[in-house]
Chain A
Amino acid sequence: AQTVTQSQPEMSVQEAETVTLSCTYDTSESDYYLFWYKQPPSRQMILVIRQEAYKQQNATENRFSVNFQKAAKSFSLKISDSQLGDAAMYFCAYKGKTGANNLFFGTGTRLTVIP
């Protein structure tokens, strides 16, 4: 079964600085999707960024980028120039390309941004 592990329950970053959130996963599939979702307090989970496993190039979305290491099964999220609005719970998630359509989530990392 697929498992997703986020080893950092909490992280903090100074405003304008850079922070990296870690995620590892386990799968026997060769092609799949990886996602980072952001959940602000009492708000819905918003997709931040996604990566397709067959693409070697790391995905970027403005200040958000990933470091995807397929062999190591690692998928970290880097947030550059952190802003107060980045404070949220961040979830890493996995979805296989074939078979079941559901997401497998990690336990989340709570990010605090210090002014």
Chain B
Amino acid sequence: EPEVTQTPSHQVTQMGQEVILRCVPISNHLYFYWYRQILGQKVEFLVSFYNNEISEKSEIFDDQFSVERPDGSNFTLKIRSTKLEDSAMYFCASSAGGLGKNIQYFGAGTRLSVL
């Protein structure tokens, strides 16, 4: 069964460094998302992406964050200058077009640890 894959599973970085989290969505899907979960808190929406542009973003998704679909298969989340509070589990998700957009399929997540 097709699935969303995320790499790496765990990323450790120093505060102030840039990180890129990678995701390969399900191949025929059209909508792409990033969510994050700080330990012990809710899964929170960051951004959605459709037709090669951001369609929605939350207040969390500030200028330090960016997303890209560089080659038609990968979907990346970049954090320009990481802060301690960026430590969280980051989940990528994708959904199909039409009525299928209402069902999001998630990856296993990348745990980001900012030291």
Contact = CB atoms under 8 A, between A and B. Distances in A.
Given A101-B31, A101-B56, A106-B42, A37 B48 contact: no
A83 to B, nearest CB: 20
Given A105-B42, A107-B41, A45 B91 contact: yes
Interface residues of A, number: 23
Interface of B: 3-4, 9, 31, 33, 35, 41-45, 48, 50, 55-56, 58, 91, 95, 101-109
Interface string A1-23: 00010000000000000000000
A95 B43 contact: no
B45 A44 contact: no
B109 A102 contact: no
B48 to A, nearest CB: 5
Interface string A80-115: 000000000001010101001111111110000000
Given A101-B55, A104-B45, 14 more contacts: A42-B9, A44-B109, A47-B103, A95-B102, A97-B102, A100-B48, A101-B31, A101-B33, A102-B35, A102-B48, A102-B58, A103-B35, A103-B104, A105-B35
